[in-house]
Structure 1
Amino acid sequence: MRVVLVNMPWGALERPALGISLLKAGLVANGVACEIRYLNMLFADLIGVERCRHITHELPHIAFVGEWLFTEALYGPDAVRDAQFVKQILRRDWRLTDQRIAELLVVRSRVEEFLARALGTQDWAGVDLVGFTSTFEQNIASLALTRRLKARHPHMRIAFGGANWEAAMGEELHRAFPYVDFAVSGEADISFPLLVRALQARPREQPQLLAAIPGLVWRDRGRSIANGGGAPVTTMDELPIPDFSDYFHARERSPAAAQVAPVLLFETSRGCWWGAKSHCTFCGLNGHTMAYRSKSARRVLGELGKLIGKWPCPTLEAVDNILDMKYFDTVLPTLEKMNLPGPVFYEVKANMKRHHVAALQRAQVLRIQPGIESLSDHVLKLMRKGTTGLRNVQLLKWCREYRIAVDWNLLYGFPGETDADYEAITVMLPRIRHLQLPGACGPIRLDRFSPYFQRPEQFGIKDVRPMPVYRFLYPIEGLRHERVAYYFHFGYEPAARASPAAHTAVRLAEALRDRADEGSLCALPHRDGGLHLADTRSQAKIAALKLSAFERCIVMRIDEVASVAQVVEALAQSFPTKRFAEEDVRAFLDELVDLDMALTDGKDNYLGLALMPAGLRPELEASSRRMPGARGGAPTFVPMAHSTTGAPLHA
């Protein structure tokens, strides 16, 4: 049995394909000959790395430009359909210029040459099974090559897997393209080896074996058969270590790939522990199962050590949806001591504590994606995010201090949002201009598998329909685009309409991001042991504010989101012989808000915006370990009585 796994355009040049690298490792361990072919590099060599980068990184993937470039090679020429795509999708929807469209047409003119090279320069003779991984814009290119492979090698079996072939999408595509023999829905770690084993059996035994493979779509006498849900991995430690050797060998032969720095991928968990508890309303990830499964610390560290030893790369990226919080006590302390070749990326949850952020920095996790999509408490509640606007800003502040880059977006268009939500964000944004601003701003999408898609009526969503682009990608009579599509357009019920005020907040966020402010807001130690706040941001309301001992205590306490009662309790603990009135404390906190040095949610909670000096961070980290995980709402501490100091709270 000889198996070839294929990574087609438009797979990213800088990273190996993790899924098929895992499959190869498992097959080889069981004596099956398997190799991976990175034909995305072959195409990049043909069209040039800049054109490839433009399509994969600069154009929005929901425009499906990369898919359209291969439609002529799959279906044959259709000048009318192409003209409509250019007019409706490229010009009207995405406003591409004539020059950009002309560049795309140059790329399209090289597709047939690429497919001919893929057929002629690769050894396909004797290959029993070819497996295509298809995510984002890899579907049409893979199908175009599949049609040609089947014409030349009728004996060859073809299998598809990946996000584009999950559940109903895979069933419909399998029915529409008869030269695809198999589709594997969901995680393929168990199903694909079973498929290989079934194809090794005698022909008369194969139908029974194929019918027993979970998640498989196959053909029985020309009829497409779906076996139902797949079989997710339950014990992550049982997975093989991915084999990236084919990727790095291909890089050595590819002039285009040599121009991009490689990224080493690793996997420590699957699913989402937060989503299993509260599925974010717009999230379409983990369509097969949200169940969270993570590797043991021993396995994580051992696997990372082996991967780094074989393939040291300037950047390491975890593919996990969310970091296992247990790793703060097990994995991250050891990463501090490992000689990592470069910084690490992880997806995390936003409501971490300061000492968690410090631990990330020490472990060289210097870029994170924390799922920050709004700064409005109400909008975050609509999302089911389990955090607040102040806690999102809190994380941005701490990440700025520890020099951790944050990938975050400002999204809008959530059913039930109000003008007040975005008016509050518009007030907040200028006050956090010294922190990292959103990398992108835009409306929400409706993705397959999300709660919005599964239960639209529950959220006031109506008229759900596939994005029009799918008509151009799959112009097949009888094909049901609503089953093939992953992205959908939709409307709102009157009571759930989106807020027009969102556009004002978005324009402000983009303006602040594009107009770099070199100033900052910092807490600086004073020579008398005190503290003062220095504001060098543009449009600062005051250059400096010297703090009394009492005020220093307050500013230290609101380094983390705190209620007035919690601040009063902190004062009482630091100054046990004094008593403080809540109204005096609140007045000082409100003064900081007026000076753009703090934020409030209007519900009794405050957050200081000043970056803390390195000398104070160990004290604050220790304090964050002792503090309970405050979530806003009811105060944790009992308020003290009226102030008897007779002195103002600030100098």
Structure 2
Amino acid sequence: MTLQIEVRRADDVPVERPPGTLKVLLVCMPWLGLHLPSLALSTLAPLTRGLDFVDGLDVRYVNIEWAQYLRDRTDGRIGGDDYSAISESDFSAVGEWVFSGSLYDRPDPERTAYHRRLTAGGHDMTLAEELYRLAGPFVEAVADDICAGGYDVVGFTTTFVQNVPSFALARAIKRRRPEAVVVFGGANCDDVQGAAMHRNFAFVDYVVRGEAERTFPLLLRRLAGATGVRDRDIAGLCWRDGDGQPRANPMDAGGVGVDAIPEAAHDDYFSALERNPVGAEVHPKIILEGARGCWWGRSTTARSAGSTTR
């Protein structure tokens, strides 16, 4: 089954729901492994669906759609194994580079410094070049489809090699629908990383740093127009003031009690596998969260939902 993208103008989509409610989309981008559900989204989805000011919540595994897109566009020549080779590689962040052309409007991979350096070192960039050229059209098609859905809030979870793919799609969404609120969260957003991300990418409206089970519902409540909730009052939140200047609230050092963490719901992940034939190549594994914190004790600090010790 080919990935079906229906392109519609966002302003052609009627949005009929009670005032003060939000329609929310949570997104998982490449290069999360196809065999893993996003624990971040599986945890936040049931929590968000239970909020009385959220009228609708969808979860989209764009990483699975990307693997299917590659399979379709190459008549099966590039499949799940090729996706996994990139996803599981520690080699020079090639997965980030694949989507960098879409983010920075550089359609020619051979003209990038990254390509020149690696080819000069004798690396075979044939597969990466092809993925690079396919990434741009894919991002544009997915952005069209998301904007047709009339979402008020689009949230991205990002851990390890998901930043540039997420930035590329977020930018494409904001170009089409500036009023949509883009929120980033996840382990890559922790502490100074999240503040720098927010400061350098103006199309990212908010960055959630810290425990998302606590922060994300508060932010949604504020976006729904609740009185008594201000951006400056939400611990760890990166936001912009009335002059457009980035602000970063101090992070809350406290954790979230186990009773406050919803039971993970992986239905959206398994539905995505069923909708995309590439899912037949996948042998899913379920993540059990036993603790939070970076198991290496450096860089990607795992305070946010979705960063777990496995």
Identity %: 33
Per the TM alignment, residue 44 of structure 1 is displaced from its structure 2 partner at its CA by 0.4
**Residue 283 of structure 1: which of 283, 287, 297 is its match?**
297
Q: Relative contact order (alpha carbons < 8 A, sep ≥ 6): 1 or 2 greater?
A: 2
Deviations along 1:234-260, one digit per CA (max 9) or x if unpaired, are 321221111211111110011222211
Per the TM alignment, residue 39 of structure 1 is displaced from its structure 2 partner at its CA by 0.6
**Residue 195 of structure 1: which of 206, 219, 229 is its match?**
219
- Flag the 1:234–1:80 CA change in 2: closer, same or farther, 3 A: closer
TM-score for the superposition, normalised by structure 2? 0.81
Count residues with an aligned counterpart: 276
Which residue of 1 is the match for residue 246 of structure 2? 224
Contact 2:187-2:307 within 8 A present in 1 as well: no
Which residue of 2 is the match for residue 107 of structure 1? 131
Rounded to whole Å, the distance in 1 between the matches of 2:153 and 2:60 is 13
Contact 1:26-1:240 within 8 A present in 2 as well: yes
Give the alignment of 1:259-270 within 5 angstroms. Answer: 259-270=281-292
Give the alignment of 1:218-617 within 5 angstroms. Answer: 218-221=239-242, 222-230=244-252, 232-271=254-293, 283-284=297-298, 287=301, 320-321=308-309
Query: Quick check: 1:54 aligned with 2:85?
Result: yes
**Residue 151 of structure 1: which of 162, 172, 175 is its match?**
175
Contact 1:42-1:114 within 8 A present in 2 as well: no
SS of aligned partner of 1:178: coil
Per the TM alignment, residue 96 of structure 1 is displaced from its structure 2 partner at its CA by 2.2
CA RMSD of aligned residues (A): 2.5
Per the TM alignment, residue 137 of structure 1 is displaced from its structure 2 partner at its CA by 1.2
- Flag the 1:145–1:288 CA change in 2: closer, same or farther, 3 A: closer
Per the TM alignment, residue 78 of structure 1 is displaced from its structure 2 partner at its CA by 7.6
Contact 1:266-1:319 within 8 A present in 2 as well: no
SS of aligned partner of 2:59: strand
Contact 1:171-1:226 within 8 A present in 2 as well: yes
Rounded to whole Å, the distance in 2 between the matches of 1:124 and 1:232 is 39
Contact 1:10-1:137 within 8 A present in 2 as well: yes
Which residue of 1 is the match for residue 63 of structure 2? 40
SS of aligned partner of 1:35: strand
Which residue of 1 is the match for residue 144 of structure 2? 120
Which residue of 2 is the match for residue 84 of structure 1? 113
Which residue of 2 is the match for residue 366 of structure 1? none
Which residue of 2 is the match for residue 513 of structure 1? none
Rounded to whole Å, the distance in 1 between the matches of 2:157 and 2:302 is 17
Which residue of 2 is the match for residue 380 of structure 1? none
Instruction: Judging by fraction of residues, say which structure has more strand.
Output: 1
**Residue 142 of structure 1: which of 166, 171, 175 is its match?**
166
- Residue 96 of structure 1 aligns with an amino acid whose one-letter code is H
Deviations along 1:483-539, one digit per CA (max 9) or x if unpaired, are xxxxxxxxxxxxxxxxxxxxxxxxxxxxxxxxxxxxxxxxxxxxxxxxxxxxxxxxx
Query: Quick check: 1:13 aligned with 2:34?
Result: yes
Rounded to whole Å, the distance in 2 between the matches of 1:193 and 1:124 is 24
- Residue 258 of structure 1 aligns with an amino acid whose one-letter code is A
Contact 1:159-1:184 within 8 A present in 2 as well: yes
Which residue of 2 is the match for residue 215 of structure 1? 236
Structure 1's unaligned 5+ residue stretches are: 276-281, 290-317, 322-345, 347-651
Rounded to whole Å, the distance in 1 between the matches of 2:259 and 2:147 is 35
Contact 1:160-1:180 within 8 A present in 2 as well: yes
Per the TM alignment, residue 271 of structure 1 is displaced from its structure 2 partner at its CA by 3.8
SS of aligned partner of 1:256: helix
- Residue 200 of structure 2 aligns with an amino acid whose one-letter code is A
TM-score for the superposition, normalised by structure 1? 0.40
Per the TM alignment, residue 319 of structure 1 is displaced from its structure 2 partner at its CA by 7.4
- Residue 257 of structure 2 aligns with an amino acid whose one-letter code is T
Which residue of 2 is the match for residue 22 of structure 1? 43
